[in-house]
Amino acid sequence: MSRKLWGENVARREDIRLVQGQGQFTDDRVLPGMLYAAILRSPHAHAKIRQIDVASAQKMPGVIKVYTGSMVSGHLGTIPTAWIPPDSQLKMVPHPPLAVDRVRYVGEAVALVVAQDPYQAEEALYRILVDYEPLPAISDPVQALESSSPRLHEEAPENVALHWKVGTDTDEVFSGADVVVRQTFRQQRLIPNPMEPRSALVQYNSATGDMTAWLTTQNPHIHRFLMSGILGIPEHKLRVIAQDVGGGFGSKIACYADEVLTAFAARDLMRPVKWTESRSEHFVATTHGRDHYDEVELAGTKAGRVLAVRVKTYANMGAYLSTAGPGVPTILFGLIVNGAYDIAQASAEVYGVFTNTTPVDAYRGAGRPEATFLIERIMDVYAREIGMDPVELRRINLIKKEQFPYTNPFGIVYDSGDYHQTLDLALKTLDYASLRQEREALRRQHKYMGVGFSTYVEMCGLGPSQVAGAVGFQGGLWESATIRLHPTGKATVLTGASPHGQGEETTFGQIVADRLGIPLEDIDVVHGDTDRVSMGWGTYGSRSTAVGGGALAKAADRIVEKAKIIAAHMLEVPVGAVQYDAGQFYPEGSRERAVGIQDVTLQAHLGWNLPEGVEPGMEVSAFYDPTNFTYPFGTHVAVVSVDPDTGEVKLLRYLAVDDCGPAINPMIVEGQVHGGVVQGVGQALYEGAVYDGDGQLVSGSFMDYAMPKARFFPRLETQRTETPSPHNPLGVKGVGETGTIASTPAVVNAVMDALSSFGVVNLDMPLTPPKVWQAIQTSMAKGGPS
């Protein structure tokens, strides 16, 4: 394969429209006769609904119809859970699109108004009279397990949504180990906040029964699949389109009540209906992420060899089980709690708990950031316990290059890697030795600098469908690609991946341009439309390039295969004698006789003189199902200073050394790392969803929920090594989530390093100034820094 564009920083093709304000986001679209929907949401975390009176709302100007739960329940299915981990005793609980007699979280949909304009719809919401009988609420997953706590669902009498165990028997190792360290961690709830709020616009043709739904989704085909069942619309009659989508980070995977209701109203009223959430709604009505209590234990030797790690987790599931929710704290978390280390014994036990909070689902990294946080943090706790430099400890325990493919204690097979190489590159880039010296020198002046590491590995490129089935994911995880060469040699490429910021219109173009020798300008990549793309499983789990790109490479190879047969016929030589390079077919040794792929394609379309048995046309589809996940890895380092007088943490330097396999477009790879890192640092230092005792979300707007801003960051430094994955045709591993996975523990480790002389071992995130200041004060009261 010629690699003209592979590895090049090709400017993104999607930018042309986006920088000119010509993107087409769901809310931008207007249809003739369109109506607007607004949703009344529960103000209570837990309440019985005694009665709903919509009479006066119905009379408001412009109001077309008001729907309640009892009106729609016979006509609509419930909101499904599409991940049922085996042996998890999962309690499936019904989640009606509109609450009927009980609400279980603030933000749960209670009624739907459809009106002529959005203001009228909004105003009518205030005229709906709901008679609630408030019930006691619980938002904390550990407290929710207490017998005195309020219960959410009859089906789950203890509030336990799932209980899952995995791993080896670690008891013996722990009882015999020289060193055992234990630490509990809180991984706080986060709110995804892609900048584009969710939106749905649905049109129904009552004559043909065809429905078109423009949705803010990361996986239009999954939405089609699920919504067809909920709405009772045959799958071939439902078209889901996700044109430009303004970020997702996992929050646009799930199938939500809102889009189902919008579709229902469009069909019922036979008019197009649009619904767009406000940011305030996003805070309560879009799935949240993380929210764990974790108890971690590590057994090791005094010399720094880790022998076993054991994790017990209480994961908050929220009030209902969201689409992929149950898979996040189990499969995507438990199977990788040993991290990048060669640890013989490991186990994880997880309780998924129902609480009166917004459902929790995937958020960038989904399970893997939580696992990485635990192992990377406990490694530092262990290092401090045995008085060893955390870098040295990592060096001893990291899986070695020659151990790949490496089977971890959960039976997961890490594909390839050179973990030590990323660590060495990081140390060299930072000049670690002098950083340590600087830290010591500053300390003598009562200034506190800290350096924190995270030598992570993650599991992405989701994934083999057989494994998906085995772990209870109710779908496949393969991908499709179609390459259609038009008579003039231009190409339309269709992919089942559904990028929403990741730039595959460009990188996939690069792959095809290289393989087929067609100029990039002659290639259009189409995605996010279930009528144009036959099937696909969408974009999440850093899978698009590893799996979607794999399908594309296969399709391109098939095009070349077919074109070669026609070219041989044109050149009047046997097929075996035809060479192919960068779009040119020629008889061995005589490149001057080459025919281009465009000419061959034209002949294929004309069909005047094709070799026997060759079908006319030049279009192929390929379906690619990977044989394993991919395992990107790397070393991230944060350097921070802590002001002892204010508790303020300042990020001085951040270095990410990642290995995601060979990069098709390094600029885009780097961009993914930047965004991921900042999101991960957000968790470490700024972000956190806070519920009060009544289950009210008190951090429900950008005023109360601290999003990372530009001025909080220094210039981000990035480096890469390239270890191909042997599992897919491109060797790529995926990079969408690495930044978020790696950065949170790196920063917390750095802050704990800075606070080490105050004897502080752990603080709960986010590490806000008051928390840090308080820890310093407590230490001072006990006699100050050591």
Tell me, rounded to whole angstroms, the distance of Cα 383 from its chain centroid.
Answer: 31
Residue type, 314: Y
- Nearest distance from residue 651's CB to ligand FES, in Å? 20
Pairing of the two strands 345-354 and 306-318: parallel
Under rule CB under 8 A, residue 670 binds another protein = yes
> Taking CB under 6 A as the criterion, which residues in 223-252 touch ligand FES?
246-247
Q: How far is the CB of 481 from another protein (least distance, A)?
A: 22
- The encoded tokens of residue 345 equal 């014994």
Using CB distances below 5 to 8 A depending on partner kind, what does residue 21 bind out of another protein, ligand FES, none?
another protein
Closest CB to ligand FES among 246 and 272? 246
Question: Interaction with another protein in 595-654: which residues (CB under 8 A)?
Answer: none
CA distance 753 to 649: 12
Nearest approach, Cβ of residue 195 and ligand FES (Å): 4
Element (H, E) at 309: strand 306-318
CB of 26 to ligand FES, least distance (A): 15
Which 3 state secondary structure label does DSSP give 733? coil
Question: Given candidates 51, 184, 278, 301, which one binds another protein under the rule CB under 8 A?
Answer: 278
Query: Binding another protein by CB under 8 A: which of 161, 162, 512, 678?
Result: 678
Shortest reach from residue 18's CB to ligand FES, in Å: 8
For ligand FES, give the closer residue by CB, 25 or 631: 25
Q: How far apart are CA 109 and CA 198, in angstroms?
A: 15
Residue 399 C-alpha from the chain's centroid = 26
The number of helix segments (H) and strand segments (E) in the chain equals 20, 28
Residue 528, interface with ligand FES (CB under 6 A)? no
Rounded to 10°, the helix 419-430/390-397 angle is 160
Minimal distance, residue 119 CB to another protein, in Å: 7
Give the position of tokens 């780097």. 670
- Collapsed DSSP state (helix, strand, coil) of residue 773: helix
DSSP state of 300: E
Site for another protein in 88-147 (CB under 8 A): 119, 123
Q: Which stretch binds another protein (CB under 8 A): 7-15, 228-236, 436-444, 539-547?
A: 7-15
Three-class SS state of 501: coil
- Least separation in angstroms between residue 500's CB and ligand FES is 9
Q: How far apart are CA 216 and CA 251, in angstroms?
A: 10
Which position among 195, 433, 703, 710 is part of the footprint of ligand FES (CB under 6 A)? 195
Q: Where are the alpha helices (DSSP H) in 248-367?
A: 257-269, 279-285, 331-334
Query: How many residues bind ligand FES, per CB under 6 A?
Result: 4
SS3 483: strand
Give the residue with the Cβ less far from another protein, 635 or 672. Answer: 672
Which of 247/359 has CB closer to ligand FES?
247
Strand locations in 95-235 (E): 102-103, 109-115, 129-134, 160-167, 179-190, 199-205, 210-215
With CB under 8 A as the contact rule, the residue among 33, 50, 53, 61 that binds another protein is 61
- Judged by beta carbon distances under 5 to 8 A according to partner kind, the member of another protein, ligand FES, none in contact with residue 627 is none
Structure tokens at 695: 């289950």
Pairing of strands 273-276, 289-300: unpaired
Residues 399-418 that bind ligand FES (CB under 6 A): none
Given 97, 107, 390, 503, the residue binding another protein (CB under 8 A): 503
Binding to ligand FES in span 462-501, by CB under 6 A: 501
Residue 405, preceding peptide bond in cis (omega within 30° of 0): yes
Distances (CA, A) of 749 to 304, 324, 399, 519: 18, 30, 21, 47
**Closest approach of ligand FES to the CB of residue 733, in Å:** 23
Q: Which one of 187-195, 332-340, 565-573, 778-786 is the stretch in contact with another protein (CB under 8 A)?
A: 187-195
Interface with ligand FES includes 739 (CB under 6 A)?
A: no
Query: According to the binding rule CB under 8 A, does residue 716 interact with another protein?
Result: yes
Nearer to another protein, 495 or 740 (CB): 740
Closer to ligand FES at the Cβ: 489 or 499? 499
CB of 453 within 8 A of CB of 390?
A: yes
Among 69, 220, 246, 766, contact with another protein (rule: CB under 8 A):
246
CB-based contacts of 320, cutoff 8 Å, min separation 6: 79, 93, 95, 104, 354, 359
3-state secondary structure of 49: strand
Quote the CA–CA distance of 447 and 461 in Å, as a whole number: 43
596 touches ligand FES by CB under 6 A: no
Residue 670 to residue 663: CA distance in whole angstroms: 10
Q: Which of 11, 129, 270, 698 binds another protein (CB under 8 A)?
A: 11
What is the closest distance, in whole angstroms, from the C-beta atom of residue 392 to ligand FES in the complex? 40
> CB 704 → another protein: shortest distance, Å?
9
Rounded (10°) angle between helices 597-606 and 549-571: 80
Interacting residues with another protein (CB under 8 A): 11-12, 14-16, 18-23, 25, 27-28, 30, 61, 119, 123, 193-197, 244-247, 249, 278-280, 500-503, 667-668, 670-672, 674-679, 701-703, 707-711, 713-716, 739
Interacting residues with ligand FES (CB under 6 A): 195, 246-247, 501
